[in-house]
Amino acid sequence: MTKVTLRKASKIRNRLMSNLTDLQTKVNNVQLALNVYNPNVVGELDAELAKFTESYVRYSQVSRVLFSIREKISAAGNAHNVSGLLADREALSGQLRTVTRVLSLARPRLPDATLSAQIAGVVSRLEKSDYGHDQLHVSFIQEEVLEGIRADQLVLQTALDTVQDKLEAINTSVTIELTDEELALLKAERVAV
């Protein structure tokens, strides 16, 4: 038996999934285009059957080991609340994206005197000409509100960093055990452990 970290186990799982996809293609190929002039039709069919049988057995073995490893990864993840941490990471990331977007778009509200002067300028231009817009786009968010949002951004980023650090620690310190049978198959599949 050999122990591997969750990070390494995930890499092994991904490699096995790739191998399994390749084997599925071979297993799904159950027909052969025969050359009617081939004098050795039976031999060709037997050779194809042998290749199919080998691929099918390999597919079954790889599939069994893949799902065994996935089950072990899942059990280790459940024991360390990985699902909860991943949910927290997604929630925090979503909130942080929204807050960051608000901060990238928002400008502090203009002082009332400045706003009144801008409105007067637009009205004056409209009175002198038929061309122009009768709207003025301004921010309504006060500087104090922006400061609160910036503080929220810092809190969210700190919380997200903490969750990511916990996930990193779990991925690099928690291990699963691979059986000798699993190790033999990984070796046969040329998957590094």
Q: Tell me the pTM.
A: 0.73
Q: How many domains does the chain have?
A: 1
The tens digit of pLDDT for each residue in 114-129 reads: 888 888 888 888 888 7
**CB count in 10 Å sphere of residue 176:** 21
In a domain, 89, yes or no: no
Per-residue model confidence (pLDDT) at position 88? 98
Share of the chain above pLDDT 90, in %: 63
CA contacts within 13 A on the Cβ side of 2: 14
Mean pLDDT of the chain: 91
Per-residue model confidence (pLDDT) at position 136? 78
In a domain, 107, yes or no: no
Per-residue model confidence (pLDDT) at position 89? 98
In a domain, 162, yes or no: no
Share of the chain above pLDDT 70, in %: 98
- Tell me which of 155 and 34 has the higher pLDDT: 155
In DSSP notation, the chain reads -EEEEHHHHHHHHHHHHHHHHHHHHHHH-------TT-TTHHHHHHHHHHHHHHHHHHHHHHHHHHHHHHHHHHHHHHHTTHHHHHHHHHHHHHHHHHHHHHHHH--PPPPHHHHHHHHHHHHHHHHH-S-S-S--------HHHHHHHHHHHHHHHHHHHHHHHHHHHHHHH-EEEEPHHHHHHHHHTT---
**Integer Cα distance of 26 and 45 in angstroms:** 15
Task: Please determine, for residue 15, whether its predicted confidence score (pLDDT) is greater than 90.
Answer: yes
Per-residue model confidence (pLDDT) at position 28? 83
Q: Do residues 150 and 99 touch, judged by C-beta distance below 8 A?
A: no
In a domain, 58, yes or no: yes
The angle at the Cα of 4, spanning 6 to 187, to the nearest 5 degrees, equals 120
The boundaries of the domain holding residue 49 are 1-80+174-193
In a domain, 179, yes or no: yes
Per-residue model confidence (pLDDT) at position 181? 95
The tens digit of pLDDT for each residue in 92-111 reads: 999 999 999 999 988 888 88
The tens digit of pLDDT for each residue in 44-87 reads: 889 889 989 999 999 999 999 999 999 999 999 999 999 999 99
The tens digit of pLDDT for each residue in 165-176 reads: 999 999 999 999
In a domain, 98, yes or no: no
In a domain, 188, yes or no: yes
Q: Which residue has tokens 């990331």?
A: 93
In a domain, 99, yes or no: no
Tokens read off for 154: 């810092």
Q: Do residues 4 and 175 touch, judged by C-beta distance below 8 A?
A: yes
Per-residue model confidence (pLDDT) at position 132? 66
Per-residue model confidence (pLDDT) at position 35? 78
**Integer Cα distance of 154 and 151 in angstroms:** 5
